[in-house]
Amino acid sequence: MVYPIYLIGYMGAGKTTVGRLLAERLGWHFVDLDEAFHEIHGLSPADYIRTYGIEAFRRKEKYVVEDLAELPIEKVVYATGGGYPCWEDNMECLRELGTSFYLRWQPHHLAQRLALTDLSERPVFDGKDASEIIDIISPQLEARSPYYEQADYILDAPVADDGTLDGSEDEQLAEQLYNMIISNDD
């Protein structure tokens, strides 16, 4: 497996939480690319988008990912921004830079998870309840899926058979990823 590791997926997929847990477990570095963007550009992605628009954000976001990849450190888990893979040739870039994992969820589960978070950094969902959130997610996820599904590996969220979320899903995903990485580590 080629390092570093890139976690991709829709907002609320757990890229940051899972990435942090995974990196801790592996003893690797963890970089949240939204946070790196904030540090480099002085504005969070949400504020940058509000100020300069989505195109300008995507262009800068692309450079943040590519610039950080120049660092001579391989053992890194990156959590990408949710829209990064769906812009220009970004999935091709990820294929060249390392190994990507798509954390795949059903839209209603993403909506449930997002409704429990602080939505002020996700203006598109701010002030919306879970049912309004799902109306936004469903078409956007459908449009983004062909990009996400170009990942080297796809991990379906480990949701219980009755469809309810018990809060252990991120830990389970991190565990699953850990085992995949360790078993490929030769």
Q: Does 4 bind ligand S3P (CB under 6 A)?
A: no
Nearer to ligand S3P, 1 or 147 (CB): 147
Q: How far apart (Å, rounded) are the C-alpha atoms in residues 184 and 2? A: 10
Binding to ligand S3P (CB under 6 A) within 112-141 occurs at 122
- CB-based closest residue to ligand S3P: 81
Residues 56-115 interacting with ligand S3P (rule: CB under 6 A): 81-83
Q: How far is CA 72 from the centre of its chain?
A: 22
Name which position in 14, 45, 85, 107 contacts ligand S3P (CB under 6 A): 45
Beta bridge partners of 103: 155
Candidate residues 5, 8, 21, 46; the one interacting with ligand S3P per rule CB under 6 A = 46
Scanning 118-167, the segments in alpha helix (DSSP H) are 130-148
How many angstroms separate the CA atoms of 78 and 111, rounded? 23
| Whole-angstrom Cα Rg for the chain | 16
Which stretches of the chain bind ligand S3P, using CB under 6 A? Answer: 11, 15, 34, 45-46, 81-83, 122
